[in-house]
Amino acid sequence: MREYSAESMVRIPRVDANHAATLGESVLTAADAVTLPVVLEKPREKLRAEVTDLKKELSAQKSPPPASSTVAADRRVDAAWSGLHDVLTGWAKLPETKPSSAKARTLLETVFSDGVRFVKFAHRAEWAESEARLNTLKAEPNASLLRELGAQEFVDEVSEAHRLYGEALGVTAVRPIDDKPEVRAKMEAFAKALRAFVLHVTAFGASDEPEAPQMAEKLLAPLTEWEAMRSPSKKQPDADDVPVPPTP
Give every CB contact of residue 178 below 8 A, 6+ residues apart in sequence: 16, 17, 184, 187, 242
Q: What is the pLDDT of residues 58-107, one digit of tens each?
A: 888 765 566 678 899 999 999 999 999 999 999 999 998 999 999 999 99
220 to 58, 140, 200, 201, 213: CA distances (angstroms) = 25, 62, 11, 8, 11
pLDDT of residue 88: 95
State the pLDDT at residue 194.
Answer: 95
The amino acid present at 67, given as its one-letter code, is A
- pLDDT interval class at 124 (50, 70, 90): confident
**Could you read off the pLDDT of 4-32 as tens digits, one per residue?**
555 667 888 888 888 889 899 999 999 99
Q: In whole angstroms, what is the distance from residue 118 CA to residue 45 CA?
A: 54
Residue type, 57: E
**pLDDT at position 79:** 96
pTM metric for this prediction: 0.52
Residue 110 pLDDT grade (very low, low, confident, very high; cuts 50, 70, 90): very high
With a CB cutoff of 8 Å and minimum separation 6, the contacts of 148 are: 100, 103
